[in-house]
């Protein structure tokens, strides 16, 4: 070592000056997730991972800066001014807080004051005429833009150009057409999907936090081959309405599609978990059983897959999906009796 | 106090009863108006109740106790990006709650109370992460530009500095300095963190004074090593 001779001066001062002059915060491929780095501060990372993160941050100018800035931001308690802002925020109002709590934990209580229905008999002829007129003038556009109609459009788009093995709610069987999960140009999309997207845009603009519209947006993204966007929308819809099995069906399907695209076993297991959660909420649902059976089969959980296919075929013996389900079931059986492993299931084309 | 405890305090390590609130300097936060009122759930118990997603009373208490902290954290980080405005803050606070509730409150379920009061730091980090994610998706600039070099400080050229870094690391390793102390040294001298900021990393289990004493010790070690080398 002879750097002291070369440069003279205090090595610590030169180290500090050099760090100020030459530190280059640039993210590299090996950098960990910044959210994880920040979790080092309150100790919410397992010790082994924490040690790795800390060792990396000590040497990496990008991660070191992220950690430094996080400590700077979060070390000091809120200032008087920040407390004042908190006191003026929307959620400082008890009514807004109650509203948020009701969205997080929906109340389930009977209507305390149900209205009697019989007075309608006195004025039903006039009401009937008014309703008919209203239906004629306002009803069609309302229907055409409704969430229920949009859901039907998405189901038709799926059947028209089926691009995945898993099922979508209310969709009839369709020919599997193209490669899995590819993003499609909007010019190649079925017109039903384009119509649905217009409705969804309008619905989201009017009701940005409505879980139904968020779910439909997620489903449309899934049909467009954009699994990441679909998962984000569906996670949000699920957070807002955790007891909705159809959202779990879509979320499980989106996770499965992504796992197929990236060959990620962890994602596939997460998809299976979501679909199982949906099955628990809505036992005997044909679409949930079908999709979960496929996920189990792809994970080589053949016993679970067989149970699901058999349960499925007991509740559906007539739809267009039956031949496909039987084919998958037979493949699972072959695997279980020890014959040569069957290649991964492919959608049946007629 | 027995000799062991005295020894650990001399080294600036937190005695067990103080480790509870010593990290992330949360004493001030836990003593603030969000401290649990007498006779109510501890913050950790409250989080556990909220994680079930079916307890409206728990969520009301959560909002009373934690929302001011979330609001203040969101306001601070939003300003760091050079933005402000109640509309954006309200939206981001709402996003924090979406994150807290997502996947059946996965974030709340995953929380591990490694020391009493850790929950406050955890909630602040979750809120900060939501704001960072938002600005990242909008192409916001982060982290800020590095501090400029003071005029009275002459920096070595880059190659020379990188060599110096390597030689200092060799000195530390040859002197069998622990990995933890080497990391503290580099966080301080290379990444520009202050002793107080380093002490906020709970894994290190050191007070601000403890971090300072590690730095002083290693600084002297390096100076001595370089002087010895010069004399030879």
Q: Examine the domain organization and report whether B195 and B117 are in the same domain.
A: no
Cα gap A216→A264, rounded to integer Å = 25
More confident residue, A336 or B66: B66
Tell me the per-residue pLDDT of B130-149, one tens digit each, with 9 for 90 and over. Answer: 999 888 887 766 655 556 65
Tell me the per-residue pLDDT of A67-95, one tens digit each, with 9 for 90 and over. Answer: 999 998 888 888 888 888 888 888 888 88
Q: Which residues of A touch B198 (CB under 8 A)?
A: 71
Q: Examine the domain organization and report whether B130 and B213 are in the same domain.
A: no
Q: Examine the domain organization and report whether A179 and A67 are in the same domain.
A: no
Q: Examine the domain organization and report whether B47 and B111 are in the same domain.
A: yes
Flag whether residue A56 sits within 8 Å of chain B, measured between CB atoms: no
What is the token pair recorded at A248? 């779990």
Q: Tell me whether residue A136 is in a domain.
A: no
pLDDT higher than 50, residue A274: yes
Q: Examine the domain organization and report whether A291 and A176 are in the same domain.
A: yes
pLDDT higher than 60, residue A348: no
Flag whether residue A65 sits within 8 Å of chain B, measured between CB atoms: yes
Q: Tell me whether residue B193 is in a domain.
A: yes
Cα gap A179→A78, rounded to integer Å = 53
Q: Tell me whether residue B25 is in a domain.
A: yes
pLDDT higher than 50, residue A195: yes
User: Which of A44, A62, A77 is closest, CB to CB, to B111?
Assistant: A44
| pLDDT value for B30 | 42
Instruction: Check which CATH number belongs to the domain holding A158 and give it.
Output: 1.25.40.10
DSSP A256-294: HHHHHHHT-HHHHHHHHHHHHHHHHHSTT-HHHHHHHHH
Q: Are A19 and B192 within 8 A, CB to CB?
A: yes
Does the interface ipTM go beyond 0.85? no
Q: Tell me whether residue B84 is in a domain.
A: yes
User: What is the total count of domains within chain A?
Assistant: 2
What does the mean pLDDT of chain B come to? Answer: 80
Q: Are A73 and B80 within 8 A, CB to CB?
A: yes
Low-confidence winner among A135-139, B177-181, B198-202 (lowest mean pLDDT): A135-139
**Is 0.90 topped by the overall pTM?**
no
Q: Counting runs of H as helices and runs of E as strands, what totals does chain B give?
A: 11, 0
Q: Are A89 and B80 within 8 A, CB to CB?
A: no
Q: Tell me whether residue B20 is in a domain.
A: yes
Q: Tell me whether residue A100 is in a domain.
A: no
Please report, rounded to a whole number, the percentage of residues in chain A having pLDDT higher than 90.
Answer: 28
Flag whether residue B53 sits within 8 Å of chain A, measured between CB atoms: yes
Residues 126-155 of B with CB under 8 A from A: 128-129, 132-133, 142-144, 146-150, 153-155
Q: Examine the domain organization and report whether B38 and B126 are in the same domain.
A: yes
Q: Examine the domain organization and report whether A319 and A181 are in the same domain.
A: yes
Q: Examine the domain organization and report whether A57 and A175 are in the same domain.
A: no
Tell me the per-residue pLDDT of A229-249, one tens digit each, with 9 for 90 and over. Answer: 899 889 888 888 888 899 999
Domain boundary among B90, B106, B137: B137
Q: Tell me whether residue A109 is in a domain.
A: no
User: What is the total count of domains within chain B?
Assistant: 2
Flag whether residue A33 sits within 8 Å of chain B, measured between CB atoms: no
| pLDDT value for A198 | 84
Q: Examine the domain organization and report whether B221 and B119 are in the same domain.
A: no
Flag whether residue B88 sits within 8 Å of chain A, measured between CB atoms: no
pLDDT higher than 70, residue A341: no
- Residue B29: left (phi > 0), alpha (psi -120 to 50), or beta? alpha
Residue A159 near residue A173 (C-beta atoms within 8 A): yes
Q: Examine the domain organization and report whether B115 and B206 are in the same domain.
A: no
Instruction: Check which CATH number belongs to the domain holding B165 and give it.
Output: 1.10.10
Distances (CA, A) of A330 to A193, A300, A315, A336: 34, 14, 17, 10
Q: Tell me whether residue B142 is in a domain.
A: no
Q: Examine the domain organization and report whether B131 and B21 are in the same domain.
A: yes
Cα gap B20→B113, rounded to integer Å = 10
Q: Are B168 and A15 within 8 A, CB to CB?
A: yes
Which pLDDT band holds residue B151 (cuts at 50, 70, 90)?
low
Flag whether residue B228 sits within 8 Å of chain A, measured between CB atoms: no
Q: Tell me whether residue B151 is in a domain.
A: no
Q: Examine the domain organization and report whether A190 and A41 are in the same domain.
A: no
Q: Examine the domain organization and report whether B125 and B184 are in the same domain.
A: no
Q: Tell me whether residue B148 is in a domain.
A: no
Q: Examine the domain organization and report whether B129 and B211 are in the same domain.
A: no
Q: Examine the domain organization and report whether A207 and A291 are in the same domain.
A: yes
Which residues constitute the domain of residue A39? 9-73
Which residues constitute the domain of residue B39? 13-137
């Amino acid at each position: 070592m002879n750097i002291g001779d070369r440069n003279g001066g205090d090595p610590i001062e030169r180290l500090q000056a050099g760090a100020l002059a030459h530190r280059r915060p640039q993210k590299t491929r090996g950098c960990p997730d910044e959210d994880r780095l920040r979790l080092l501060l309150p100790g919410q990372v397992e010790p082994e991972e924490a040690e790795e993160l800390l060792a990396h941050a000590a040497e990496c100018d990008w991660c070191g800066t992220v950690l430094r800035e996080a400590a700077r931001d979060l070390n000091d308690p809120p200032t008087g001014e920040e407390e004042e802002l908190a006191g003026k925020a929307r959620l400082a109002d008890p009514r807004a807080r109650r509203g948020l709590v009701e969205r997080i934990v929906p109340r389930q209580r009977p209507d305390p004051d149900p209205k009697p229905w019989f007075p309608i008999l006195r004025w039903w002829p006039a009401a009937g005429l008014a309703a008919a007129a209203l239906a004629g003038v306002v009803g069609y556009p309302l229907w055409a833009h409704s969430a229920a109609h949009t859901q039907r459009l998405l189901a038709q788009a799926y059947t028209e150009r089926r691009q995945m093995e898993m099922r979508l709610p209310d969709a009839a069987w369709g020919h599997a057409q193209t490669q899995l999960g590819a993003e499609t140009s909007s010019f190649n999309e079925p017109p039903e999907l384009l119509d649905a997207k217009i409705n969804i845009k309008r619905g989201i603009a009017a009701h940005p936090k409505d879980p139904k519209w968020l779910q439909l947006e997620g489903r449309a993204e899934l049909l467009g081959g954009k699994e990441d966007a679909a998962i984000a929308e569906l996670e949000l819809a699920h957070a807002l309405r955790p007891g909705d099995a159809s959202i779990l069906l879509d979320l499980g399907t989106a996770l499965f599609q992504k796992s197929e695209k990236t060959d990620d076993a962890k994602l596939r297991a997460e998809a299976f978990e979501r679909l199982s959660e949906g099955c628990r909420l809505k036992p005997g649902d044909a679409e949930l059983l079908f999709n979960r059976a496929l996920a189990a089969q792809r994970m080589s959980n053949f016993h679970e897959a067989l149970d699901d296919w058999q349960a499925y075929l007991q509740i559906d013996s007539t739809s267009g999906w039956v031949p496909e389900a039987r084919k998958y079931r037979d493949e699972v059986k072959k695997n279980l009796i020890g014959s040569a492993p069957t290649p991964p299931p492919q959608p049946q084309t007629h | 106090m027995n000799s062991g405890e005295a020894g650990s305090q001399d080294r600036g390590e937190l005695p067990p009863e103080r480790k509870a609130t010593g990290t992330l300097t949360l004493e001030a936060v836990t003593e603030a108006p969000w401290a649990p009122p007498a006779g109510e759930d501890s913050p950790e118990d409250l989080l556990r109740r909220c994680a079930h997603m079916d307890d409206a009373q728990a969520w009301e208490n959560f909002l009373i106790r934690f929302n001011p902290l979330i609001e203040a954290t969101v306001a601070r980080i939003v300003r760091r990006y050079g933005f402000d405005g109640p509309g954006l803050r309200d939206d981001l606070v709402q996003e924090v709650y979406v994150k807290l509730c997502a996947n059946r409150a996965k974030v709340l379920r995953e929380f591990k109370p490694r020391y009493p009061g850790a929950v406050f730091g955890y909630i602040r980090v979750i809120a900060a992460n939501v704001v960072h994610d938002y600005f990242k998706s909008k192409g916001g600039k982060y982290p800020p530009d590095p501090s400029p070099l003071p005029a009275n400080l002459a920096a070595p050229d880059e190659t020379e500095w990188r060599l110096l870094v390597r030689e200092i690391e060799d000195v530390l390793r040859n002197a069998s300095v622990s990995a933890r102390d080497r990391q503290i040294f580099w966080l301080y001298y290379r990444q520009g963190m202050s002793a107080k900021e380093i002490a906020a990393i709970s894994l290190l289990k050191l007070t601000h004074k403890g971090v300072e004493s590690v730095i002083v010790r290693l600084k002297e070690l390096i100076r001595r090593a370089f002087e010895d080398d010069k004399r030879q």
